[in-house]
Structure 1
Amino acid sequence: MPLDDGYGVLRGPITDYFRDDPDDYGKYYHGNLRVQAPNGEYRCAIDVDAKSSAVGVEWRVVELRADELASVLSLGVGYHDLATSSSSGALDYIRSPMFAARTGCVAIIMGLLGKKLDVSTLWKKGSDIDALSDLEPLVQSTRNAGLHALVFGEPFSSGLGLHNIHQNQGDPAGSIWYQSNGTWQDGCTVLQQSADTWVAFMNKFSTQSYATDDFGHPI
């Protein structure tokens, strides 16, 4: 089922970054990017953990080439709605070729050894602070160089901003997020490091599956 307020990508320079106040951050803890667009400044809330939760967070940092992002880079600076499909430029942690390619060689080697790749081993696991400690140097590098961020997620229902910047599929049956599961709608923070190099900060919760069906439900 699609996210309530749609899905899209924001491109622009980073004007600020901050963590939520640990004493007053509400239900979820975020690292927050402010990104400048032609129609104003957007706040992008990157979800890294549930407050007072033992669920934990998982994340990957994947280097990408500019040509792998060509379809969204061609849209230019600003926010753009994306169809939740493989041809729109939308991201899917499980299905996007740019992410699958990074596991291909490992999977081939494991296959030759008669073993199956355990996808969970590709993800780092830890606390919200651990995750942000890996994200923040990348943010700082992009900001200092005056380069751009690409932020994928769901737009705020009011005001300029994006949330649900995390995996948006694989939540288990019975959870309040099960009905929001869907393919080609994953949130992600992609940061430019040079003219031709970007890095994707992928983040998910440990309750979310590494494999999903065509509806984004866990299998």
Structure 2
Amino acid sequence: MTIKGYGVLKGVAVDGKGERDRSTPHYQIRMIGEENTEYRIAVNVMSSSNESEVLYLVDEQYDASSITILPTMSNGFTHINKNNRDIALDYIRGDLFDPSKMVPLPHDISGPDNDLNDKLQNYIGRAIKEEATIYVYGSEWGPEKNRPDKIFDFEPGRGVHNVHMNQGNEGRWKVDNGPWQDGGILIQFKDKWVAIFLAFLSQSWCTDDKGHPTEVCDHTQTKLAVSTGR
């Protein structure tokens, strides 16, 4: 099995806010895609089971030399399949970054710029000010007919979730495993590209061709925790 509706949303952000008082908090982004179509991006900032922190890595000088297709695409959500897999993300097979550099960060710590909500707000806030183009990888939901968005109230509700690694899961989330379907955020600022990658401590960095966990390979590609929480 794989996640449904995998693809990439291209557009600009117009609002962003963190959540700290929900049982499954997210950092929420309001984006505009094609023809003023609105989307809500729900970015996990905590495991729903409270057993697995979110790992994050931000590359503030991301090498975008190989990114040639995304800037030519129209705004809106583009589904990704075997015919256009060259624009997909895969944290393991794509060699996008060193996974050992990912760090866990709680979603709610008092004080400025010291939790995951704060980190995301820094980059999304700058993107809003600069009207920077954002590419969000994940799975699409909606449109939800006759139902406004529960966070930003636009109608119909629609958006993107699973904005994180989508392989190496066990337990209830194993059905979401698959190669070349990882989530993430790329921001095209005027002077540089910034990449934001997210995963869960419970996910394995050794997966087979279906995205399922395999035997431990080495220390940089191991399960970073025994929890199976999300």
What's the TM-score bracket when you normalise by the shorter of the two chains? Answer: 0.7 to 0.9
> Which residue does the alignment assign to 2:7?
8
| 1:65 to partner: Cα distance | 3.4
| 1:183 to partner: Cα distance | 0.7
Q: Which amino acid aligns with 2:77?
A: Y
Q: Which deviates the most, 10-19 or 63-72?
A: 63-72
Aligned-residue sequence identity (percent) comes to 31
> Which residue does the alignment assign to 2:211?
216
Mapped partners of 2:88, 2:82: distance in 1 = 6
> Which residue does the alignment assign to 1:137?
122
> Which residue does the alignment assign to 2:103?
124
Q: Matched residue pairs, number?
A: 193
Q: Which deviates the most, 180-189 or 135-144?
A: 135-144
> Which residue does the alignment assign to 2:186?
190
Q: Which amino acid aligns with 2:205?
A: Y
Mapped partners of 2:45, 2:205: distance in 1 = 17
Mapped partners of 1:87, 1:209: distance in 2 = 22
**Alpha-carbon contact 2:186-2:196 (below 8 Å) kept:** yes
> Which residue does the alignment assign to 1:29?
25
| 1:154 to partner: Cα distance | 0.3
Mapped partners of 1:29, 1:149: distance in 2 = 22
CA spacing shift, 1:85–1:166, aligned 2, 3 Å: farther
| 1:36 to partner: Cα distance | 0.5
Q: TM-score, normalised by structure 1?
A: 0.80
Runs of at least 5 residues in structure 2 that lack an aligned partner in the other structure: 109-114, 144-156, 215-230
Q: Which has the higher helix share?
A: 1
What's the Cα RMSD here?
2.0
| 1:205 to partner: Cα distance | 0.9
Mapped partners of 1:153, 1:42: distance in 2 = 13
Q: How does 1:129-208 map to 2 (within 5 A)?
A: 129=108, 130-158=115-143, 159-172=157-170, 175-195=171-191, 197-208=192-203
Q: How does 1:18-97 map to 2 (within 5 A)?
A: 18-20=17-19, 22-23=20-21, 25-26=22-23, 28-39=24-35, 40-51=37-48, 53-62=50-59, 63-83=61-81, 87-97=85-95
**Alpha-carbon contact 1:8-1:155 (below 8 Å) kept:** yes
CA spacing shift, 1:84–1:163, aligned 2, 3 Å: farther
Mapped partners of 1:67, 1:41: distance in 2 = 30
| 1:217 to partner: Cα distance | 0.8
| 1:52 to partner: Cα distance | 5.8
SS of alignment partner, residue 203 of structure 1: strand
SS of alignment partner, residue 59 of structure 1: strand
Runs of at least 5 residues in structure 1 that lack an aligned partner in the other structure: 104-118
Mapped partners of 1:13, 1:133: distance in 2 = 19
| 1:84 to partner: Cα distance | 5.5
> Which residue does the alignment assign to 1:113?
none
| 1:93 to partner: Cα distance | 1.0
1:125-183 per-residue CA deviation (whole Å, 9 max, x = no partner) reads 121232222222111111111111110010014342001111110112xx111011001
Mapped partners of 2:13, 2:103: distance in 1 = 25
CA spacing shift, 1:95–1:56, aligned 2, 3 Å: same
SS of alignment partner, residue 65 of structure 1: coil
Mapped partners of 1:194, 1:202: distance in 2 = 20
CA spacing shift, 1:77–1:86, aligned 2, 3 Å: closer
SS of alignment partner, residue 45 of structure 1: strand
Mapped partners of 1:86, 1:208: distance in 2 = 26
CA spacing shift, 1:134–1:91, aligned 2, 3 Å: same
CA spacing shift, 1:55–1:182, aligned 2, 3 Å: same
